[in-house]
Structure 1
Amino acid sequence: MTKVSLQPIVSNLNLPTVLKTTILPGDSTETLFVATQSGEIYYIRNGFIGNFLDIRPRILKLGASGGKYDERGLIGMAFHPKFQYNGLFYLHYSVTGTQGPGALSKPEAARQEPAVLPEFFKPNPCDPGTLNLKWIDREILYDHIDTVEEWILQPNGQPQKRRTLLNLRRPFFNHNGVNSLNFSPETGKLVLTTGDGGMGYDPFNLSQNDMEIAGKIIEIDVDKNTFINDSPVVTRFNELPAQIQETLAVMAKGVRNIPGISFQKFYNQYIKYVGIVGQDLAESIYSFVDYQALPVTQLIQASLMNSQADQEGLINFGWRGWEGAFPTSIINSCSANPALDEKVIAYYNDAIKTSVLRAQPLTSYFHQDPRPDKFGGTALTGVQAYMGHGIPDLTGSVVFTDIARNEGSQPPVRGVLAYTRVRANHKLSDFSVIETDYNFGSQSAFYVSLGTNLDQTKLYLGVYGSMNVNDSNQGTVFEILS
């Protein structure tokens, strides 16, 4: 059993969604940055914590959707690989004042205050109407707008917004991705990881639709210095101005929800790790080396000609037909025997269509697992390659976090750390739990984020004491040590 220590770096934060290091202009050593869901960005060096940027006034009011849990806010932050020289960094957040009624509301609900979220969606295989829903009246029926922006750290030390890269209308409050902006060391491009829009079971099948921005991993060429005044708010690639389309390529589709992407260098190639948050059954981690990103201009051209672009080399994670290695199922209680559940394939046709095309997980872990050395998971919140030697058991592995053990135990809640490795024969890998020595006492400890430094020799863990976004200052960032 691998054991680690958690050493607190900073406490009393709001929920820490992104943990990253970079080298500041005029500096030579790395500084740790922490972005919170509510919109504060802090830097930490030599035990000192400073304010880097506070965009709380730009962020939509969290918790306003009728629940105390929220997946909106500041959810992505990335520093340009040449940040030390050009001062460029990127933010992804939910924009203030954009709260809508949600995509499954009736139009009259758009005029209600506050907006009412429908119950979580569940398809019914016996009712085809629930299997072929369309997102209509998108300009009215949406939950909020997310924006992806480029900022610059000016010579006077003040950050300033430089341009908008994308404005995305999102159907529901959840599945927007988290740690959603990362630079690829392989291509130098900004990688945006965006979830399917939420509400459970991807009601509109956005993740498999080539024109939809939702449910994709997208490369953005930020070196194409495209400035658009009043960048339009869109949901589909073909609604974007041509000069923005030309900066985008799709790396992967079939994404449910995703806590970012991690790149691990082995010899002269990069292994990409992606975690996909599950529906009812399994959380899955994927790895791939080769892929062929599809330029958005090609996808649009194929759509105009009613054909499909050549998708050889495009990664497809299989959602909504597949949840990890399993056809997406609806779990019903078995009326004859209350102790048993019956599983019905929710989207049989979707599962068949994507059965051969999809990537297979590197490993999956389950929401219920009776094995003594495993755990029942709730939701994957971070996936990071670790190349350091400080924790020898983990060297060369991929470490992941789950927000909370799902073992029917009494509070307080505890998150989970675990790890897995790519096997030389590319077969499915098992995973191992990492024990921690930290005593959280009677306080809940949701593991909400996982970060690393530039050369992946350090690991950082973000922990929060509550899942109510209105409970403030319950966050702690730890360094994970041997």
Structure 2
Amino acid sequence: MRTSRRTAGAMSAMVVLVAVRFAAGGGTPLTVELVVQGISDPVFVTHAPGVFDRIFVVEQIGRIRLFNLQTETLTTYLDITDRVGAGGEKGLLGLAFHPDYINNGLLYVNYTRPGASPFDTRISRFAAVGTPATALTASAASELIMMTISQPFSNHNGGWIGFGPNDGALGYLYIATGDGGSGGDPGDRAQDITGQRLGKMLRIDVDSGEPFTMPPTNPFAGVITGDDEIWAYGLRNPFRCAFDSATGDLYIGDVGQNTWEEIDIQPGASTGGENYGWRCMEANHCFVASTGCTCNSALVVDPVHEYSHSGGRNCIIGGEVYRGCALPGLPQGTYFFAENGSEEIWSFRGTGLLEFTDRTAELNPGLMFGISSFGTDAYGEIYICEQGSDRVYRIVSADPPVNDCNENGVEDACDIRDGSEPDANMNGVPDACQCMTPVDGDVNNDGMVDIFDILCVLDGFAGVFTTCPLVDVDLVPCPAHDMAVDIFDILAVLDAFSGSPPCCGA
């Protein structure tokens, strides 16, 4: 638990460990801990890149709440309830922070509002107030309306937005849209690539002009009039999607019609243009005729996973790919997702569905109702939103940290990731925990550790560096120096003199 990074086992009324031990499929036994409560209809949780001490919870009504993981305080970061039309499948549905947020303070939202048709989807940009890394609010008055999409019905609004990790320094924002609603896509909009934004994955450039420009590498850019922003199509209601931050693979949880739910994966190396089949296909099964595709066409990209509406299942909740640091026994790249109706949670790895595991007994033993989303913090740890009790949980290990050399209750890899512990040689071990060999105590470089080395470090402690320079007598922490000669450097040389490896910080 990292809500208090230096106090192992710290708890408060808002952080409760749910003690459920169960190692499904082997590996790290997982459980969940309650992190945030006192919120309303959470639909998403995420983080700002490079900001480790906080997460942001999206409330459907039109608020973004900031939860400080260190102080365990909950505040309102942005309130746009005055312009959001919420209820049912409508509301504030998506949030993405610019990859360079820590410098530019920009964030993007996806929300619905009353319009002429009868609702619109709006993609807008806002700006943090003050220094982004420590900003407590974003300005509602800073809104830049980037895109408005007319919605013919009130459902199937998609909602997810996110930045692609494979786009480098380019600010390419991906926008998932539903097919316009009703049932069965009556307008055949998902297959329409003649200026129709609904039922699509869009991709726009938010850095090269306002409100946005079209990436020239989009698959239909300059080919079909009005389709420059389309990245992929044939989607019904991609409510929750996620990028694998390591590979760039895009996981799409596409909510089905009457019978099937599906997960699609677009490879990180994709150049776009995929047709995921709706409405001629519902997952791997023929649905109804469409002008854009035919049943079982080789041109349609099949889902990597599907499941039927049985046992109360009716709505897939696309999840997140694990690339964190606190679960060393969990394979990197494990994808977690859930089912809203039956409250089940599963995981697998990659397009081959490796280690497909039912995680329900571990992660949801009757705790969560109405799972609405997954999200991550800056460490890459995964959170789960649920609307039944309006809470956010975090997936954690049921066991103590495996690698915790400084005994602070935190995995060493997480200390290194947030910079609280340096790792100059990048070997995965905090520098303060590494040991030198006895020869490293040879501060005067004469090939042996003797009384002259002890005298050198004592001189350095007194501020005298005529015999041995500071860089040689400043041993601890190793291999990165702290530019000070203190008792730890003296002890390190004494250890070396006695023939023992002089452990840093000992």
Kindly indicate whether residue 271 of structure 2 is the aligned counterpart of residue 292 of structure 1.
Answer: yes
C-alpha contact (below 8 Å) 1:362/1:429 kept by paired residues: no
Cα shift at 1:249? 2.6
Q: Please state how far the C-alpha of 1:259 moved relative to its aligned partner.
A: 2.6
Partner residue of 2:303? 361
Q: Which amino acid aligns with 1:58?
A: R
1:262 to 225, 242, 247: 242
The residue type paired with residue 276 of structure 1 is D
Deviations 1:321-373 (A, max 9, x none): 00111112xxxxxxxxxxxxxxxxx32776626711111111112212xxxxx
Aligned to 1:303: none
CA shift for structure 1 position 223: 0.4
Corresponding residue for residue 385 of structure 2: 462
Specify the alignment match of 2:209 in structure 1.
225
Distance 1:143 1:394, change over 3 A: farther
Q: Is the 8 A contact 1:216 1:252 kept in 2?
A: yes
Taking structure 1 as the reference length, the TM-score comes to 0.66
**CA distance in 2: counterparts of 1:480 and 1:37, whole angstroms:** 23
Which residue identity lines up with residue 64 of structure 2 in the other structure?
I
The residue identity in structure 2 corresponding to 1:388 is: G
Question: Letter of the aligned partner of 1:159 in structure 2?
Answer: A
Q: Contact 1:327 / 1:351 at 8 angstroms: preserved in 2?
A: no
Question: Given that residues 282 and 367 in structure 1 are in contact (C-alpha distance below 8 angstroms), is that contact kept between their aligned partners in structure 2?
Answer: yes
Select the structure with the greater relative contact order (CA < 8 A; seq sep ≥ 6).
1
Is structure 2 residue 386 aligned with structure 1 residue 476?
no
Q: 1:54 aligns with which of 53, 73, 79?
A: 79
Distance across 2 between alignment mates of 1:382 and 1:439: 16
> In structure 1, what is the equivalent of residue 452 of structure 2?
none
In 2 relative to 1, CA 227–361 (structure 1 residues): closer, same or farther, beyond 3 Å? closer
Deviations 1:413-462 (A, max 9, x none): xx121112225xx5x77843103457887x87111111112453x11000
- Number of the residue aligned with 2:98: 80
The letter for the 1-side match of 2:75 is: G
| Corresponding position of 2:359 | 434
Contact 2:62–2:84 under 8 Å retained in 1: yes
CA distance in 2 between counterparts of 1:265 and 1:477 reads: 22
CA distance in 2, matches of 1:154, 1:250: 33
* Structure 1 residue 44, shift from structure 2 partner: 0.9
Amino acid paired to 1:432: T
Q: Equivalents in 1 of 2:281, 2:93: separation in Å?
A: 26
Offset of residue 5 of structure 1: 1.6
Deviations 1:14-50 (A, max 9, x none): 11112101158xxx53420001100111111121111
Shift of 1:288: 2.5
CA, structure 1 residues 450+186, in 2 after alignment: closer, same or farther (shift >3 Å)?
Answer: same
Measure, in 2, the Cα distance between the counterparts of 1:227 and 1:364.
37
Q: Distance in 2 between matches of 1:264 and 1:439?
A: 24
Provide the C-alpha distance between the structure 2 equivalents of 1:31 and 1:278, rounded to a whole number of angstroms: 34
Alignment check: 8 A CA contact 1:6 1:436 kept: no
Q: Is the 8 A contact 1:260 1:382 kept in 2?
A: yes
Aligned with 2:82: secondary structure?
Answer: helix
Q: Is the 8 A contact 2:240 2:373 kept in 1?
A: no
Counterpart Cα distance in 2 of 1:171 and 1:430: 41
Gaps of 5+ in 1: 64-69, 101-141, 229-236, 294-313, 329-345, 369-374, 406-414, 466-473
The change in CA–CA distance for 1:194 and 1:274 in structure 2 (over 3 A counts) is same
Question: 1:154 deviation in Å?
Answer: 2.9
Shift of the 399–447 alpha-carbon distance from structure 1 to 2, 3 Å rule, reads: same
> Matches of 2:184 and 2:102 in 1, distance apart?
42
Question: Judging changes above 3 Å, is the alpha-carbon distance between structure 1 residues 153 and 146 closer, same or farther for their aligned structure 2 residues?
Answer: same
Match of 2:439 in 1: none
After TM superposition, list the pairs within 5 Å mapping 1:18-97 onto structure 2: 18-23=44-49, 29-45=52-68, 46=70, 47-60=72-85, 62-63=86-87, 70-95=88-113, 97=114
Structure ranking higher in strand proportion: 1
Cα deviation 1:41-92 (Å, max 9, x = unaligned)? 11111211111011111112x34xxxxxx10000111100011100100111
- Give 1:206 deviation, angstroms: 0.2
Q: Is the 8 A contact 2:164 2:248 kept in 1?
A: no
Q: 1:453 to 1:29 in 2, by over 3 A?
A: closer
Distance 2:123 2:291 in 1: 34
What pairs up with 1:375-390 in 2 under 5 angstroms?
Answer: 377-388=313-324, 390=326
Q: In the comparison of the two structures, how many residue pairs are matched?
A: 347
Does structure 2 retain, via aligned residues, the 8 Å contact 1:182–1:260?
Answer: no
Q: Percent sequence identity over matched residues?
A: 27
| CA spacing shift, 1:197–1:394, aligned 2, 3 Å | farther
Q: Distance in 2 between matches of 1:71 and 1:394?
A: 34
- The correspondence of residues 95-106 of structure 1 with structure 2, limited to 5 A, is 95=113, 97-98=114-115
CA contact (8 A) 1:5 1:436 kept: no
Tell me the distance in 1 between the aligned counterparts of 2:165 and 2:361: 31
SS of the aligned residue for 1:186 comes to helix
Code of the residue aligned with 1:32 in structure 2: it is: I
Q: How far is the alpha carbon of 1:198 from its aligned partner? A: 1.2
For 1:278, which of 245, 249, 256 is the aligned residue? 256
Q: Distance in 2 between matches of 1:56 and 1:383?
A: 26
Which structure has the bigger radius of gyration? 2
Whether 1:170 aligns to 2:156 is no
